[in-house]
Amino acid sequence: ETGVTQTPRHLVMGMTNKKSLKCEQHLGHNAMYWYKQSAKKPLELMFVYSLEERVENNSVPSRFSPECPNSSHLFLHLHTLQPEDSALYLCASSQEWDRAYNEQFFGPGTRLTVL
């Protein structure tokens, strides 16, 4: 049973819609991550939060807006997306962000399709 849950599992939206992806971790971790997984490309790290503070923002377009209200929850707000944003969006957590040896625990992802 995974300690990281994501909702919804599938999402289809038009380019003018606004939607949000939700992630929750039940592991007591301090760091949470958003990744984008596109076909035949390495996982792309989008955002990192450590103790609810954003510590990484890897040149992600402003149409993606993260929110971390507490250390257990992470959101990704989406608006005016483009078809090339269609991908699997994965959430992960780890014990601490500032320890390179930590393994990350992943959720099942949200499969996003932008029409």
Partner 1 sequence: AQKVTQAQTEISVVEKEDVTLDCVYETRDTTYYLFWYKQPPSGELVFLIRRNSFDEQNEISGRYSWNFQKSTSSFNFTITASQVVDSAVYFCALSEDATGANNLFFGTGTRLTVIP
Contact positions vs partner 1 (CB under 8 A): 2, 4, 9, 31, 40-43, 45, 48, 55-56, 88, 90, 92, 94, 96-109, 111
H or E, element range at 13: strand 10-13
Distance CA 105, CA 93 (A): 5
Q: How far is the CB of 103 from partner 1 (least distance, A)?
A: 5
Q: Smallest distance from the beta carbon of 16 to partner 1, in angstroms?
A: 27
Biggest alpha carbon distance in the chain?
Answer: 41
**Do residues 52 and 70 lie in contact, with contact meaning Cβ atoms separated by under 8 Å?**
yes
Give the shortest CB-80-to-partner 1 separation in angstroms.
Answer: 26
When the beta carbons of 33 and 64 are compared against partner 1, the nearer one is 33
Nearer of residues 2 and 82 to partner 1, judged by Cβ: 2
